[in-house]
Amino acid sequence: MTSLTNKKILVTGGTGFIGGHLVDKLIKEGARVFIIDNLSSGRKENINPKAKFYKYDIRNPKVSHIFKKEKPEIVFHFAAHIEARESVKDPIHDAQINILGSLNILENCRKFKVKKIIFASSGGESYDDAKIIPTPESYPASPRSPYGVAKLAVEKYLDSYFKMYGIPFTVLRYGNVYGPRQNPFGGSGVVAIFTYKILNAKECVIHGSGKQTKDYIFIEDAMKATLAACKKNITGRLNIASGKETSVLEIFGKLKKITGFKGKIKHILLPTGVLKRGALSIKKAKKVIGWQPQYNLEEGLKKTVSWFKNRKS
């Protein structure tokens, strides 16, 4: 598959941060896009006017009516309960959305003969505190949080549906995606949270020492990888990240330099389930889909700060 022109594509979670950017890119590619989203964490302003929008929870049995009406060829399943720390507090709620909701989508993909599924998984939560960093896709997945467990469960269901029904799939194990339009009011997304607080002269809070590391990938790079993966006839898992580990303190320091922020940070206790180190190997993505990041961290952060500044004004 090389062209997405006139392809009928469903994006679940298409009003969210990543999903909203994805819908915009797909429409620019000439695809006919429709969205299923309950707006629990997404935003109406992220809805592309050229996309059809259905306000449904992915657990709703009526989702089948949308599949029957629209007959998607490709499904990007990006809807999820996205808060890993919240999943520790309420794993049942997390599983109801991320496992049972996903199964509802997969069953409709089977019934209505979808040609390909692209699933947004979590590279940051998949590998626990891995002994190999950057961590390749071949490293045993052993998630710590219920959120990570649910993501891995859906990956296993995709394996099952491929073996039983022949539905091709690509799992994208994203690093920590950041950039314009990210929600600064959730429990995750440290770049957006810091940027909003810095620009509004609010106190910045860091969990633990701040030396814990993650792999940060700018949204534009993540989207190029996502489209490249969609256009290739591949089944399996791909890490989509920068291949580098960056600490929370480094993120704060870079944002402080970019903005000229003079305020201080407050350290609080590290929540249960937070990993100490993380970075993802992107060698497979480079080889299989011919992709590698174009933005370094400073460039991505500057673009993010600029967007938040414009939004504030």
φ, ψ at 267 (rounded to 5°): -95, 135
Residue 196 annotated among the catalytic residues of the structure: no
**Residue 160: other Cβ atoms inside 10 A:** 12
For residue 290, give both structure tokens: 């011919």
Q: Which has the closest alpha carbon to 217: 243, 188, 237?
A: 243
Q: Which H or E element spans position 12?
A: strand 8-12
Which residue among 56, 139, 147, 174 is the active-site one?
147
Strands 213-214 and 246-247: antiparallel
**Residue whose token pair is 């799992």:** 171
For residue 191, give both structure tokens: 């770049």
**Residue whose token pair is 């808060």:** 83
* Residue 28 near residue 93, CB atoms below 8 Å: no
Enumerate residues 6+ apart whose C-beta is below 8 A from 241: 123, 134, 173, 174, 175, 215, 217, 279, 280, 282
Q: Which has the closest alpha carbon to 134: 229, 240, 249?
A: 240
For residue 210, give both structure tokens: 């701040």
Q: Three-state SS for 76?
A: strand
Beta bridge partners of 210: none
Active-site annotation, residues: 147
